[in-house]
Structure 1
Amino acid sequence: MIYRGDNMGREKLIVIGNGMAGVRFVEEVLTTDANAFDITIFGSEPHVNYNRILLSTVLQGNTKVEDIILNSVEWYQKNSITLYSSETVIHIDTVKKQIKTDKKRSLPYDKLVIATGSTPFMLPIPGSNKEGVIAFRTIEDCQKMIDTSKSYKKAVVIGGGLLGLEAARGLLNLKMEVDVVHIESYLMDRQLDQTASKMLQAELEKQGMNFLLQKMTAEIVGDGRVEGLRFKDGTETSADLVVMAVGVRPNVQLAKESGIETNRAIVVNDFLETSIEDVYAVGECVEHRETVYGLVKPLYEQGKVLASHICKKKTEGYQGSVLSTQLKISGVNVFSAGQIVEDETTKSVKVFDEIEQVYKKVVCRNDVIVGSVMFGDTSDGPRMLDMIIKQKDISDLENVQLLQTASLTEAPVQTMASTDIICQCNGVSKRRIIDAVQNEGCSSVDEIKKCTRASGSCGSCKPLVANLLDYIQSDTFDEVVEEIPLCSCVNVTEETLIEEILTKNVTSRQEVMRALGREHEQGCPICIPAIDYYLAKIHPTPEKVNERIHAKKNHDGTFSIEPQMYAGQSSAQQLRVISEVVEKYSIPQVMITSSQRISLSGIKAEQLEEVYQDLNMALYRLDDHFVYSIQTCAGQRCTCDKSESILLAMKLEQSVEQLKTPQEVKIGVSACLHNGAHSTTKDIGLIRMDRGWEIYAGGSSRREPRAGELLCIAETVTEAIEITRALFQYYRETAKYLEYISEWLDRVGVIHVREVLFDFDLREQLVQQMEEDQANTKSVFTL
């Protein structure tokens, strides 16, 4: 798959690796400076970016593959990112600054980021190449295990670490008999001490796992397909499937062959720079200060630092990370962080409740916590990790306070400070989640995840997020949380920004910065478009529309344009003119778009002026945020009369065109219940029923589909258009910048919006204001 961007003229940034580290870095770049680079990503797997950590939940049957997708096809397209999936970079020419792939593609770069991750380590033993011997690293590996379970019954997992145990749990769920082979005397020996490990083993044995400890595999036996394992002590076990989960190795072969310095992994400095200029590395393939990280939190931290550095923003560099592990398998909770085994320089505090099967240990050095292990009750885990990271002095605490919350009746989240981190992977604080619930309308864990990313990576903090949500929604919640600023440049909330523009009557970006006492700030990709948007909304002036914005620049330097076709309607004359222009200028691509228009693509820059003149027709505006499309049910196979719905759509589109919106808006108009325009999943949808026109709002056909809510029913076409226009204008006037209609509706409330729309005077004022806004634009709009 290839999704081509249109960022000609920018520096070319190539990212080798479409995994969690590489794409998270790209996300940080887009946040830091969305206009800095023309971004290309290469991925060896035939997928978009997905959460590899959650593969175990797919195997265990708790999650579907589509649920672990992190960035959809639309995300790459929306951000003009070129993705080459199923394609591997095989050479980097660091002198000519270009890469070559296994598909004989050669591309130049200005900046190159290597994010090749790691590869599963396969034990080099006889029989390891037999059918039925696999690793557990990709979606394909996961599917192979699921398919195998349908025909075979006995599985052996080699490796008693975190990944091996999660794989074993998944295989049990697939009704397979499972042996776990581990070379050490206790499980998860790198993350747990012996006490916690033995408790974990006992619990997993109750669930059906069989453990073969202190076993070293000598050979995988079988005729063609695996039939069993033989160990070096002479014992054997049968197997229809062998899953190797004995660790991973940094994938550094490409870097090494390209002359980039490597040790255990690709050697980088604090700014993630390699030994070659303009070549960087991030993720599991990186060695920083002689340490290689394999958990998601350090990889995300590296990506944030690298994004700041590569976008020329001030950063102190990457300082390393404190590692933590949290495992949850069928109700078994295990947590560990930092140094878990005592030595001559440390002391520890332990709590062991054999009846309740709860074990907690805190390791301290010089009155500072350096490590912790917990089994059974891991609710204090985030608090402990926060204390380890911040190196808090605990000399004034009683030992028992370290492992107990302030009150036996309080949940751990109640005693956490608002600045404490709930989601370590994504750095989401308690305060941020409270803000999402109180000010952004989040009412479920999934909504919090979409809004803040909390629990969206390894998922181990999901129970704590749920506990915090319950606490916020309870009668005992009385915490006051400071409002979050729009960005560090302006250092005020979005609401304060609007208030300053209104009360001080400022009319330019420079005046806004001066009014906020930030005159020395130039602004950033977050605040600049927001300031410009609110200035235009508060101080509207006739807009001088540049016809160039009607042409979209393609990756190869050519342009695309779309003649305006209201509600997908055209005429013989318009089609004839388009056909003549296509033929005259040899335009190579003519396509019907999802917005029911004709796209002419591949127009050369020097042809644009003449193409505009020969077409002599309105073109659809492709820049900024507008009504993206009003889709109708034209072409639907049902026999319902569609003329009224098409007429409504045409009038509606003519009334809203050229009006800027906080975020792009999609509208659907359907002639009947057959819903050919998928109106219920549009931002605004209208459906013709016997009783009139049902008007829906807040739907979404983006990554997480959502049905809109029924706002009201209009008896006539005229009333339907009037209500829709009032709804559209009220959204424009009260939504935050980049806030989708669904998010706006969640925030202000459906009942409130209904009250506004049902007030005839307010509705009339909104429609009148919209007409004035459109007149300000149309009066100067010329082709």
Structure 2
Amino acid sequence: MKKKLIVIGAGMATGRALEHLLEREPEGWDVTLFNAEPRGNYNRIMLSPVLSGEKTYDEIVTHDDAWYAENGVTCRFGERISNIDRTAKTVTAETGEVLPYDKLLIGTGSNPFMIPLPGHDLDGVIAYRDLEDTERMMAMGADKRVVVIGGGLLGLEAAAGMAARGADVTVVHIMPHLMERQLDEAAGYLLRKALVDKGITVRCSANSKEILGEGGRVRALLLDDGTELPCDLLVMAVGIRPNVALAQDAGLAVGRGIHVDDQMVTSDADVLAVGECVEHDGALFGLVAPLYDQAKVAAATLCGEEARFVQKDLSTKLKVTGCDLFSAGDFAEGEGREDIVFRDPGRGVYRRLVIEDDRVVGAVMYGDTADSNWFFGLIKDRTDISEMRDTLIFGPAYQGGAAVDPLSAVAALPDDAEICGCNGVCKGDIVGAIAGGATDLGAVRACTKASASCGTCTGLVEQLIAVTTGAEVETKQSICGCSDLSHEEVRRLIKAQGLKSMPAVWQELGWRTHDGCHVCRPALNFYLLADWPLDYADDPQSRFINERKHANIQKDGTFSVVPRMWGGITTPDELRAIADAADKYDVPTVKVTGGQRIDLLGVKGEDLPAIWADLNDAGMVSGHAYSKGLRTVKTCVGTDHCRFGTQDSTGLGIQLEKVLWGSWTPHKLKLAVSGCPRNCAEATCKDIGVVCVDSGYQIGIGGAAGMDVKETERLIDVATEAEAIAVVCAVTQLYRENAKYLDRIYKWMGKVGMDWIREQIEDTEARAALVERFEISQSVYRRDPWADHAARKAESYQPVADLTLEAAE
């Protein structure tokens, strides 16, 4: 008979423990998993990329519904446990239901610490700890003011994520420099400079005094020097405390955390605990590597196997706001210690080693952390470095005074060297996976999860594969788990072999599954659309939910509807239609977007067809705010109204939007047209930007204004509107035909090179051919998804060639 295991808390530690347990004894346990959050296990480390928009929540889920179902785990998500009766060996859910257990695993995690400042209970004061916190921050519109208290990792990630969303962000930190526990003052300075360069205000040595409110909502943070920092949202990210209340009420031994022994057993032999809630030999744990070690030991203990949790020396390897950081050991100054420091301001690289008695006792690295595992090994092993003192700072590749094979440093790493911090994977795990037949990056990732999260360890994993197999490492990234082929290889073979359907791709290219997966299907659908517009039929089910619904889904399950306003120009009739729709369908929020349009937020799913029909009847089409395609063409008023305008930027913007609307591209596409070099439409940070000058039009591409802030690079100058429209169509088609799915233009540009793109566009014959292919694709696929296709066919499928001719005239 199966033993009953109840797990309290669906965190990263309990998720990993269940994996190990069910691998060992798949038929031995009847598992019930409770979680206070209304969801299962996900990677909390990756909440920051979700906040910044780099990832979606679905991409950070570690155990989905299918995994729980396949492994027979009963999920009770959104339910808390109110009581543990250790005598009866039962738990009581908050519903009153009583469930028996043979073994109990507690993983209640930690609670964010909220500074008890006056006003800390005001609406708009939040922590940054879970998905709900993240979603609340994501719901803040651009141009809002956010204050973050705390200059540690979480605080800085919150600040960077909100800044990427357009918020005005200020970080308040009580210490003299940021991340003082991990970084020395010099590295802290470089980090602060990088944040300031991203538009974030940083105030160190600042002490918070009071949170000021108005009408029950936060209004500002008051510092003890009298400074007021106005804010619409205040985020506290100042630390965590183990969540021990349930264990304490059950009479378990508790100190700062739940006491556990080397087998992760609490003071009750039938109750185990793992994660941030536990205390082992006086230590608490916040990094993921020891939590995963605990999970492995707990699973072994439940299976009756011998295992011990041993605390290890830990290093901190982080990526904060795009900057790589590493620290390990003790880097404080002291008698008998000396520093070796390397600075390269041009590359933003800083290294500092602390030496004592010919041994490295501390290391801090900023900007380039490739050699961090080697330095950490020197610290752990207390290696005598006297013979390599002169070249030590340059890393393992330069020992002996000259560059040597860099793979030798990887080979020399001990088996317990941590390779992937996000998933707690050490060198020995990867070597074991390789020995078991996982000889490429995709296979190693599938077996061990190494490099599956933030990706910063990918290079090291590849080097380890090369060292272990003795072969050259395969650096390509496969399109998904269904195939070993990369995006680029799939795209090339689709064209070369004339593959014009998904079944043809799956059959001819040796897909492991007969119908693909949620990762490859959207990419294949786009590639086939772009390459064979006259032969391939779009598959709506291979699009993301926002594209299937033709609206952006919101966190509460409602939708956002954005009608198109050509070039940001509207009319009283359109505004009346929007207002009528908002009244008719009880739309709670009406917002002007950063792309000069109006967003109707909070539309119920069942009302979507009707609100689309009403907006269509008013002559308005979809703004495609949900699409991997053209979003907007932002304009300034140009010569019609502005005394500085050199050309009709508004008119050109409208023409470009009418030519390009409805075009599907590898990622979202944003344009702008500024009427003069004063650049009021911000054309120099768009995917494609046009700046009007006296002599004509300067066209640039590859701008970005998110986590990566990039200025456009000048592509070409033209003299007429017709030429400008042709160039924009041509470069859009070139991007469609050659870019990897989900690469923005600047990423594609970095792979193929600006010289190659310019060569295609400056060649008038090649440009004309690109425009022709663009028009063919548009004539087939461009439509207003809000319209009734049968009744409105003439309007919805208007050939783009007509619009191009209008623009030329």
TM over 0.5: yes
Alignment of 1:420-435 (within 5 A): 420=414, 421=417, 422-424=419-421, 425-429=423-427, 432=430
What corresponds to 2:290 in structure 1?
298
Cα 1:240–1:282, aligned 2, differ >3 Å: closer, same or farther? Answer: same
1:271-330 alpha-carbon deviations (Å, 9 max, x no partner) = 112112211111100111111010100100111122222212122x11213222223245
Cα 1:441–1:477, aligned 2, differ >3 Å: closer, same or farther? Answer: closer
Secondary structure of the equivalent of 1:39?
strand
Instruction: Please say if residues 91 and 99 of structure 1, whose CA atoms lie closer than 8 Å, have aligned partners that are also in contact.
Output: yes
Alignment of 1:225-624 (within 5 A): 225-315=217-307, 317-344=308-335, 346-401=337-392, 403-407=394-398, 412-413=406-407, 415-417=409-411, 420=414, 421=417, 422-424=419-421, 425-429=423-427, 432=430, 436=434, 439-440=437-438, 442=440, 448-456=444-452, 459-465=455-461
Structure 2: which amino acid aligns with 1:243? V
What corresponds to 1:168 in structure 2?
159
What's the offset of the Cα at 1:333? 1.8
Structure 1: which amino acid aligns with 2:425? G
Structure 2: which amino acid aligns with 1:461? C
Cα 1:96–1:477, aligned 2, differ >3 Å: closer, same or farther? Answer: closer
Distance in 1 separating the partners of 2:227 and 2:467 = 54
Distance in 2 separating the partners of 1:261 and 1:123 = 27
Note if 1:89 corresponds to 2:89.
Answer: no
Instruction: Please say if residues 377 and 413 of structure 2, whose CA atoms lie closer than 8 Å, have aligned partners that are also in contact.
Output: no
What's the offset of the Cα at 1:142? 1.1
Distance in 2 separating the partners of 1:680 and 1:324 = 49
Distance in 1 separating the partners of 2:20 and 2:432 = 23
Structure 1: which amino acid aligns with 2:420? C
RMSD, aligned CA:
3.5
Instruction: Please say if residues 217 and 230 of structure 1, whose CA atoms lie closer than 8 Å, have aligned partners that are also in contact.
Output: yes
Cα 1:90–1:79, aligned 2, differ >3 Å: closer, same or farther? Answer: same
Cα 1:129–1:388, aligned 2, differ >3 Å: closer, same or farther? Answer: same
What's the offset of the Cα at 1:695? 11
Instruction: Please say if residues 433 and 448 of structure 1, whose CA atoms lie closer than 8 Å, have aligned partners that are also in contact.
Output: no
Instruction: Please say if residues 411 and 467 of structure 2, whose CA atoms lie closer than 8 Å, have aligned partners that are also in contact.
Output: no
What corresponds to 2:36 in structure 1?
44
| 5+ long unaligned stretches in structure 2 | 475-498, 525-809
Task: State which drifts further: 421-430 or 181-190.
Answer: 421-430
1:658-690 alpha-carbon deviations (Å, 9 max, x no partner) = xxxxxxxxxxxxxxx999xx9799xxx89xxxx
Secondary structure of the equivalent of 2:218?
coil
- Of structures 1 and 2, the one with the larger relative CO (CA 8 A, separation 6+) is 1
What's the offset of the Cα at 1:388? 3.3
Give the TM-score of the pair, scaled to structure 2. 0.56
Secondary structure of the equivalent of 1:291?
coil
What corresponds to 1:186 in structure 2?
177
Cα 1:389–1:460, aligned 2, differ >3 Å: closer, same or farther? Answer: farther
Distance in 2 separating the partners of 1:332 and 1:418 = 27
What corresponds to 1:212 in structure 2?
203
Cα 1:377–1:253, aligned 2, differ >3 Å: closer, same or farther? Answer: same
What corresponds to 2:569 in structure 1?
none
What's the offset of the Cα at 1:80? 1.2
Distance in 2 separating the partners of 1:229 and 1:143 = 22
Aligned with 2:95 (options 98, 103, 122): 103
Instruction: Please say if residues 434 and 468 of structure 2, whose CA atoms lie closer than 8 Å, have aligned partners that are also in contact.
Output: no
1:163-215 alpha-carbon deviations (Å, 9 max, x no partner) = 11111111111011110000111100111111111121112111211111122
Structure 1: which amino acid aligns with 2:29? F
Distance in 2 separating the partners of 1:26 and 1:286 = 17
1:557-591 alpha-carbon deviations (Å, 9 max, x no partner) = xxxxxxxxxxxxxxxxxxxxxxxxxxxxxxxxxxx
Distance in 2 separating the partners of 1:92 and 1:226 = 38
Alignment of 1:662-701 (within 5 A): 697-699=511-513
1:524-550 alpha-carbon deviations (Å, 9 max, x no partner) = xxxxxxxxxxxxxxxxxxxxxxxxxxx
Distance in 2 separating the partners of 1:85 and 1:477 = 42
What's the offset of the Cα at 1:362? 2.5
Instruction: Please say if residues 449 and 456 of structure 1, whose CA atoms lie closer than 8 Å, have aligned partners that are also in contact.
Output: yes
| 5+ long unaligned stretches in structure 1 | 1-8, 479-672, 687-693, 710-783
Instruction: Please say if residues 59 and 142 of structure 1, whose CA atoms lie closer than 8 Å, have aligned partners that are also in contact.
Output: yes
Distance in 2 separating the partners of 1:213 and 1:696 = 57
Query: Structure 1 vs Structure 2: percent identity of aligned residues?
Result: 38
What's the offset of the Cα at 1:476? 6.6
Cα 1:305–1:680, aligned 2, differ >3 Å: closer, same or farther? Answer: farther
Instruction: Please say if residues 437 and 448 of structure 1, whose CA atoms lie closer than 8 Å, have aligned partners that are also in contact.
Output: no
Structure 2: which amino acid aligns with 1:358? V
Structure 1: which amino acid aligns with 2:329? G
Task: State which drifts further: 424-433 or 76-85.
Answer: 424-433
What's the offset of the Cα at 1:64? 1.1
Structure 2: which amino acid aligns with 1:283? G
Cα 1:431–1:270, aligned 2, differ >3 Å: closer, same or farther? Answer: closer
**How many residues are treated as equivalent by the alignment?**
493
Instruction: Please say if residues 418 and 429 of structure 1, whose CA atoms lie closer than 8 Å, have aligned partners that are also in contact.
Output: no
Secondary structure of the equivalent of 1:294?
coil
What's the offset of the Cα at 1:250? 0.6
What's the offset of the Cα at 1:705? 4.8
Instruction: Please say if residues 153 and 177 of structure 1, whose CA atoms lie closer than 8 Å, have aligned partners that are also in contact.
Output: yes
Distance in 2 separating the partners of 1:397 and 1:674 = 60
Structure 2: which amino acid aligns with 1:186? H
Distance in 1 separating the partners of 2:375 and 2:320 = 21
Cα 1:281–1:342, aligned 2, differ >3 Å: closer, same or farther? Answer: farther
Distance in 1 separating the partners of 2:138 and 2:514 = 32
Give the TM-score of the pair, scaled to structure 1. 0.58
What corresponds to 1:78 in structure 2?
70
What's the offset of the Cα at 1:405? 2.8
Distance in 2 separating the partners of 1:108 and 1:702 = 42
Distance in 1 separating the partners of 2:218 and 2:504 = 52
Alignment of 1:82-161 (within 5 A): 82-150=74-142, 153-161=144-152
1:466-496 alpha-carbon deviations (Å, 9 max, x no partner) = 6767999999769xxxxxxxxxxxxxxxxxx
Distance in 2 separating the partners of 1:412 and 1:105 = 59
What's the offset of the Cα at 1:431? 8.7
Secondary structure of the equivalent of 1:172?
helix
Cα 1:433–1:155, aligned 2, differ >3 Å: closer, same or farther? Answer: farther
Instruction: Please say if residues 149 and 174 of structure 1, whose CA atoms lie closer than 8 Å, have aligned partners that are also in contact.
Output: yes
Secondary structure of the equivalent of 2:151?
coil
Distance in 1 separating the partners of 2:203 and 2:509 = 63
What's the offset of the Cα at 1:339? 2.1
What's the offset of the Cα at 1:435? 6.6
Structure 2: which amino acid aligns with 1:698? R
